[in-house]
Structure formats: C-alpha cells, structure tokens
C-alpha cells in the first residue's frame, strides 16, 4: 500500500483519508489530523487497504465525533482575523501601501497583491513567534536560574513543547497565538524538565513554583488549543 489521499464514505457521511505506509509500525493505526481534518491511517508492512477501511468503519462514530469537535479552519485573508498573544486582530488588505505587514491599532495591515495575503500573514506569524517565544523562554529561564542549551521552534501536531536530555527545548511556534499566561505555563513546564525528565510529583511541584498559571493554562489548552492548529501555514 502506497501513500495517498481519497474520500471514503462512512456511516456519518464522507471523510478524507490519508494513507501512510510504515515499515516500523506493528499494527494499523488511525488518527485525526487537527490541521487538515483528514483521517490518517497508517498501514504496517503487509497490511491491506481493506484492513484499514475495516478499522475506519468499525470506529466511524469515534471519527465523526472527533471531526465534529474540530474548530472551523481559519482563513488568513482580508476581513479575517489573526491572534497574537491571545489578542484578536482583523486582517486588512492595503493594496496601495508599501510597508509589507504591520500591526497598528489592533489591525494587521498587509500590502501587496491580495492573493499573497495568506502567505504574508503566515510568514508574519512565524516571524513573530521567532522574535517572541525564545526571548520569553530565556527571560523565564534566567529568572529561575535554569539554563537550556538550545531553544528551537517547530510546527508540531500534538505537543506544545519538549525538552531533550541534553537540555535542548523545543516549542511549537503556534504558541505565539495563545494568551501570555498559556505561554508562561508551557515554558515553565519545559524548563522544569531540565531538572526532572519525568512527570512525577517533584516535577509538578517545580512547575507550580515556576508559574502561577498552570490550571488556567491547562483549561485554555483543553478548550481552545485545537483552534491554533486550524491555522495552516502557507
């Protein structure tokens, strides 16, 4: 079975299935991609497409429920909106301007041809993430005497951050859209892993010493975190 995409009927309607072939997988697996809204089915060596379809249809209610919980996709176009640090800004196309992309009075202005607005807004978001998130992590690290060896940004699908055994910390760039309290908590969470590479009691005690926002941030991520993944990079 080779990789590919197709529309498949199930009890609740139709879904788009992305097939993935894996030599490492030991069994058929299925998940919902929060960005595209597609159902990703991974087939191990020797598995057939019909086996994957059988799994899909056996769990069609789970798939339908998962898709129904996804927030609507966000369109980065004129008249749409973008969020930075938890604050919502209107996107306004300014065809006659020559300033690129700039934020002013709660409005994100975008110059140039209208067909390039989504690409320019996406690039602006990534640039803001690069400018803000590492600096905030370093400031928090300095305030509590912890020293990561490296800070990297990635576009992850399931984790907001991670810390490796060599002290390198990764953050999902999409966090720049979350409220500052949420960013503070995720950064504290990863900094705590510099001392505790687990999620034991001592780890959570340290997290609570590093940030007062844990409960609030966890609730926000549970309620709204998926919406950050519905903004697809262009």
C-beta atoms surrounding 96 within 10 Å: 5
Q: Using CA atoms, how far apart are residues 69 and 75, in angstroms rounded to an integer?
A: 18
C-beta atoms surrounding 217 within 10 Å: 24
Q: Is the pLDDT of residue 232 over 70?
A: no
- Mean pLDDT across the stretch 225-231? 90
83-141 pLDDT per residue, tens: 999 999 999 999 999 889 999 999 999 999 999 999 999 999 999 999 999 999 999 99
135-175 pLDDT per residue, tens: 999 999 999 999 999 999 999 988 999 999 999 999 999 99
- State the pTM of this model: 0.82
Nearest residue to 15 (alpha-carbon basis) of 39, 32, 41, 43: 39
- Mean pLDDT across the stretch 208-222? 97
Q: What is the set of domains in the chain, with CATH numbers?
A: 4-69 (no CATH), 81-229 (3.30.2010.10)
Q: What is the pLDDT of residue 141?
A: 97
Q: Using CA atoms, how far apart are residues 10 and 41, in angstroms rounded to an integer?
A: 14
Q: What is the pLDDT of residue 39?
A: 94
Residues sharing a CB contact under 8 Å with residue 109, sequence separation 6 or more, in sequence order: 92, 94, 97, 99, 101, 102, 103
First to last CA, the chain: 29
- Mean pLDDT across the stretch 63-77? 90
Q: What is the pLDDT of residue 233?
A: 63
Q: Using CA atoms, how far apart are residues 37 and 31, in angstroms rounded to an integer?
A: 10
- Please, which contacts does 92-97 make with residues 24 or more away whose CB atoms are closer than 8 Å? 93/117
Confidence of residue 35 (pLDDT cuts 50, 70, 90): confident
168: left (phi over 0), alpha (psi -120 to 50) or beta: beta
Q: Is the pLDDT of residue 2 over 60?
A: no
């Amino acid at each position: 079975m080779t990789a590919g995409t197709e529309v498949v009927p199930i009890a609740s309607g139709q879904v788009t299935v992305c097939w993935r072939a894996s030599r490492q997988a030991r069994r058929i697996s299925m998940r919902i991609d929060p960005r595209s809204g597609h159902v990703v089915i991974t087939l191990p060596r020797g598995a057939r497409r019909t086996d994957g379809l059988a799994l899909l249809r056996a769990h069609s209610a789970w798939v339908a429920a998962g898709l129904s919980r996804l927030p609507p996709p966000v369109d980065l176009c004129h008249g749409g909106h973008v969020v930075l640090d938890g604050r919502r800004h209107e996107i306004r196309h300014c065809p006659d301007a020559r300033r690129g992309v700039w934020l002013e009075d709660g409005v994100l202005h975008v110059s140039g041809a209208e067909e390039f607005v989504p690409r320019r807004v996406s690039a602006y978001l990534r640039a803001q993430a690069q400018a803000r998130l590492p600096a905030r992590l370093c400031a928090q690290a300095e305030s509590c005497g912890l020293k990561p060896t490296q800070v990297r940004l990635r576009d992850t699908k399931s984790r907001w951050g991670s810390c490796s055994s060599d002290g390198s910390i990764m953050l999902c760039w999409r966090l720049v859209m979350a409220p500052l309290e949420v960013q503070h908590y995720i950064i504290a969470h990863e900094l705590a892993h510099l001392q505790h590479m687990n999620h034991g009691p001592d780890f959570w005690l340290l997290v609570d010493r590093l940030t007062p926002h844990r409960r609030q941030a966890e609730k926000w991520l549970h309620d709204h975190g998926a919406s950050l993944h519905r903004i697809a990079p262009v």
